[in-house]
Structure 1
């Protein structure tokens, strides 16, 4: 059962005709917040060399400016979704946006690398509250069917464009204003969104007898992933078979196993394992994880290649990535149409094929290449990532009842963000290991960097392509139809308390 604001007749899942304009007005504000959190995953990428010089970062530690955000973002998304369902989705959205905006201001004022990384982690925590609450509100405003598919299609396009447009904006801001203004922009946008939220966004929540949140589960999974990323990132220096590396990875595995055990026994689990009985949800989240790992790792490595090998400025690097965003925007409309007329599976598989092929094509870029001759083709092709983001967003929420809306929406975004954090760590580690090996063999620094980046891109491309069999095996039209029927039958039943 859902509580509804009297001022918002379209809240709670059934849209009144008179509220149609208000729905899309609310959607627009929520999409702006989503765009901001999505862009912040990679908006600092092109500024990393500048940040490293000014804050005295070691080269190997630069990835933490990105992964600190991604880890807390992904690690606490499920808790954010749970809190949104129980405390009120607009309330949690507002609290998260406030935290995100304040942390952005702190990032802009950072004078040390450690402080910046910590504040990026706090930013991620705020985003983990904003995103599932926002997507859960969208699900409750639009009834399941064509209109929700349209909204989720636009939502997926917003996420896909946020990553690439964020890179462009980061380059332009770094070039003309300085890297702190990347975060000052968040303060301006976040402040404006806060002023408008109560006026245009509806409130809704689950009404149950007791509220339980499972913070132990959130801490366990986030700690496990931080330790995993740290172990992977330190492996080139310590050695993959070193006692420290193996101990860190073993500790991470033990904590992940503990997380599963906690969720299986908890009265109100952060991640209800019963959700994975929906094969479409399970498959979409698996694809989402691989998408994050392959695509975000690709952008991270591609950015370093352009700046450290080709000598591009931050602005030129951002402009180069615009080609991916333009393709993504152009393909967003056809993706929505194809998902409705064909199937989520086919569009997703096509997107994975094109994106993976584009990443592998980028491995052919030479040490002294040029954008139009060597990078434009791969970049345009990987813009097809929109064809993964959109069906993944739809598939991960099909058949999910209002009771689990916040958890399911948090889960898919968590899968993508954590995949991104781990993918960046793996790609960075592979590149560093290969570069070190080539330098030992006597290769010049530019050639060694190029070889390291090529090897990392091979890994990213293969990770993306690994999602194809998962999509074909787990995400089927019959499964989507059955899940939708079950969801609609359960809408008439009161949701039991967890």
Structure 2
């Protein structure tokens, strides 16, 4: 089911629409006025899409660009090995734990306002990170970056689905949005290596300043002026505290698994407490007069199924995004910039598929079929990586894998459309925040589980007398095999839970009824 038209909810309608023109008799208007207004509205929507995609690209780039510069940051600021992990963890904990809250606050206070404030916070925090001279200051700046990222990215999809209401137009917009996420990580690895080698690690943060300021300058006049529902429609302070504390503690538990182990008292204790807090949040939402997260959103098979598929898919694809880069550097001896360039074909083919043909395939065959096809291709990617040799040749052993990454360009736009398909106009920010939250949880689980398995297998092989290259490759093989299992599970969920959507005319009585 497609999301309801933004026109049915005054608070989310684009500012470029003209209420006076809509009420004037046809005969009282010049023939060219409608065409001019329509063209201006179309331009405004395209600019809005460009702004949101640019903001998301900046955030995605930041996630991968930092990993390349970590050795330089450690050497310059004197981080301990354990302390260095908090350059990533501080960002991930703030980002992942606040997405759901930020998405709902966007519905209540205005999604455009939330996007603008989040982008401004992220840009200011990037400046603070770039001038950091101590580990504590950099970690604090990264936490602040995570807050800004959550505010901006939680509402991005919500703005898009209320701006682009026609199915084909919306499919193209989501394809652009999905491409920024799919390709941003690979671009970040290249850019991070180049900036760190040519200038210094400080510039991986300074690069965000012109991008963020330009996005804000264009966003102010083109994004819709939505006022939101008001805090009274969902001012559940207790629920907000429960879900934020539960997600923050849960993500902290996952990112510390590699240090403490899965069965340690620390992991079990904090994990059970996080589950208790999230359980209390769900119970609270079932009884609260104005719930922060109306539970009706989880009754949708499309929303619940798409979020579960995404969690499994993102957890699996961590092994492609991160472990392949580690394999290239630690086993094949590639440098940072060369590693990024080696992974560029994946970004190029993902972009070509997601921007070029995914919208047409979704319109012709339906999102469910396209998603299943993409998952099959991605399963092939990890299956091939599970057999990559110690002394691999890029053209024969790795380039075919990069090209099969086209499956991500098929799967992500289809999955995003399904995840937002049943969102009501007044829940679009919440649905967007939920979709982004499961993405971050999936990433954290992938990092914790697959990296721990790879390290454990590597240590075992080293103890058996294997060379370092053989041991590392064996560890990565195990992670790729487990990631393949995640993708098989994602395919099973998509096949059994997600149903093919029945075409419905935009603005149908059913859609208008649900939008109220």
Q: TM-score, structure 1 length as denominator? A: 0.90
Residues of 2 paired with 1:412 and 1:6: CA distance?
Answer: 23
Residues of 1 paired with 2:488 and 2:134: CA distance?
Answer: 39
Is residue 2:427 matched to residue 1:401? no
Distance 1:337 1:380, change over 3 A: same
Residues of 1 paired with 2:238 and 2:332: CA distance?
Answer: 46
SS in 1 for 2:357: helix
SS in 1 for 2:232: coil
TM-superposed deviation, 1:209 = 7.8
TM-superposed deviation, 1:23 = 1.3
Instruction: Determine the structure 1 residue equivalent to 2:178.
Output: 156
Instruction: Determine the structure 2 residue equivalent to 1:470.
Output: 493
Instruction: Determine the structure 1 residue equivalent to 2:66.
Output: 44
Residues of 1 paired with 2:312 and 2:434: CA distance?
Answer: 14
Residues of 1 paired with 2:419 and 2:236: CA distance?
Answer: 22
SS in 2 for 1:460: helix
| Matching of residues 31-430 of structure 1 within 5 Å | 31-57=53-79, 64-207=86-229, 210-214=232-236, 216-235=238-257, 237-332=259-354, 333-430=356-453
TM-superposed deviation, 1:307 = 1.8
Distance 1:192 1:208, change over 3 A: closer
Distance 1:107 1:287, change over 3 A: same
Instruction: Determine the structure 1 residue equivalent to 2:476.
Output: 453
Residues of 2 paired with 1:6 and 1:135: CA distance?
Answer: 15
Structural RMSD (CA): 2.8
TM-superposed deviation, 1:188 = 1.5
TM-superposed deviation, 1:474 = 1.7
Residues of 1 paired with 2:97 and 2:509: CA distance?
Answer: 30
Instruction: Determine the structure 1 residue equivalent to 2:6.
Output: none
TM-superposed deviation, 1:153 = 2.1
TM-superposed deviation, 1:145 = 1.9
Distance 1:481 1:4, change over 3 A: closer
Contact persistence 1:235–1:245 (CA under 8 A): yes
Distance 1:362 1:145, change over 3 A: same
TM-superposed deviation, 1:190 = 0.4
Equivalences, count: 491
TM-superposed deviation, 1:275 = 1.0
Residues of 1 paired with 2:94 and 2:178: CA distance?
Answer: 21
Distance 1:214 1:74, change over 3 A: farther
Q: TM-score, structure 2 length as denominator? A: 0.87
Contact persistence 1:77–1:132 (CA under 8 A): yes
| Matching of residues 11-22 of structure 1 within 5 Å | 17-18=38-39, 19-22=41-44
Give the stretch that moved more between structures: 88-97 or 364-373. 364-373
Give the stretch that moved more between structures: 205-214 or 335-344. 205-214
SS in 2 for 1:455: helix
Measured against aligned partners, the alpha-carbon deviations of 1:301-334 in whole angstroms (never above 9, x if no partner) come to: 2222222222211101111111110110121222
Distance 1:231 1:194, change over 3 A: closer
TM-superposed deviation, 1:167 = 2.3
Residues of 1 paired with 2:251 and 2:456: CA distance?
Answer: 15
Measured against aligned partners, the alpha-carbon deviations of 1:179-229 in whole angstroms (never above 9, x if no partner) come to: 221111111100121222212222113345824344544544444444445
Give the stretch that moved more between structures: 287-296 or 182-191. 287-296
TM-superposed deviation, 1:237 = 5.0
SS in 1 for 2:422: coil
Residues of 1 paired with 2:300 and 2:291: CA distance?
Answer: 17
SS in 2 for 1:65: helix
TM-superposed deviation, 1:127 = 1.3
Measured against aligned partners, the alpha-carbon deviations of 1:26-52 in whole angstroms (never above 9, x if no partner) come to: 211121112112222322232233334
- Give ranges in structure 2 of 5+ residues lacking alignment: 1-8, 23-33
Instruction: Determine the structure 2 residue equivalent to 1:440.
Output: 463
Give the stretch that moved more between structures: 405-414 or 141-150. 141-150
TM-superposed deviation, 1:6 = 9.1
TM-superposed deviation, 1:351 = 0.9
SS in 1 for 2:99: helix
Instruction: Determine the structure 1 residue equivalent to 2:510.
Output: 489
Distance 1:60 1:376, change over 3 A: farther
- Give ranges in structure 1 of 5+ residues lacking alignment: none
Distance 1:334 1:5, change over 3 A: closer
